[in-house]
Amino acid sequence: MFKNKVIRYSTIAMIIAILGYFVIENLSDNSTSSAEEELVIANPEQYKTKLLEERAAKDEQFKTTKDSPIKDKENFHGLHYFEPDLSFRVKANISPYMKDDKEVVVKYTDGTSEKYEKYGYANFTIGGQTQKLLLLKNEAILSVLFKDATSGKQTYGGGRYLDYPLTAVKNNVIMLDFNKAYNPYCVYQETYACPVPPAENTLTVPINAGEVTEGFVHE
């Protein structure tokens, strides 16, 4: 998610395409999430294998495509992550945002801003603690911009993101998979402007899942 909308949406499309590639072929959007859920229940190890394949596919995209934020592609050896952990894949109940002030201005790292819509709050339990995150809607994409107790330590201090198509919501329920939490492009190249998570989207627990920083790996 980036200030340049062409880059922003091409990147989100790339991520969704990578995820979709590893789900059973020819499924509709409405059945994709349920198919993945069935995979997790039936064979957790296969789910983890698929997740690692998705990460490898993203590395290949970053190393070879012109839209990649990586400057030195020749020496790029891949992104870094926590190990897959299914305890960070949680079902969240959504409380739709019903007030009139749905429009919200989200600040970007370059001092600019962009308008989003408050879609609702995702309520879930993780690490034995109740948490909630504001879901932001921009066209057909739901964005989860968040910080947690790892931010500025193991993970990027500015926060990480999750993106979902609106079809991922079923009966006001969404599956949040923090194993797929990713860094914005401004982590790799300062010329990109990225949205700053709302202050209320700071979780009180460490999310030891998803992408970590290069610095943490080499400490």
Does residue 9 register a pLDDT over 80?
no
Report phi then psi at 166, rounded to 5: -60, -30
Between CA 177 and CA 184 the distance in angstroms is: 17
The pLDDT, as a whole number, for residue 14 is 52
Note the pLDDT tens digit of each residue in 121-154. 999 999 899 999 999 999 999 999 999 999 999 9
Note the pLDDT tens digit of each residue in 10-65. 455 555 544 444 443 333 444 556 667 777 877 889 899 999 999 999 999 999 99
- Please say whether the beta carbons of 192 and 186 come within 8 A: yes
Share of the chain above pLDDT 90, in %: 74
Between CA 20 and CA 182 the distance in angstroms is: 17
Locate the domains of the chain by residue range: 5-217
Q: Are strands 211-212 and 80-81 parallel, antiparallel or unpaired?
A: antiparallel
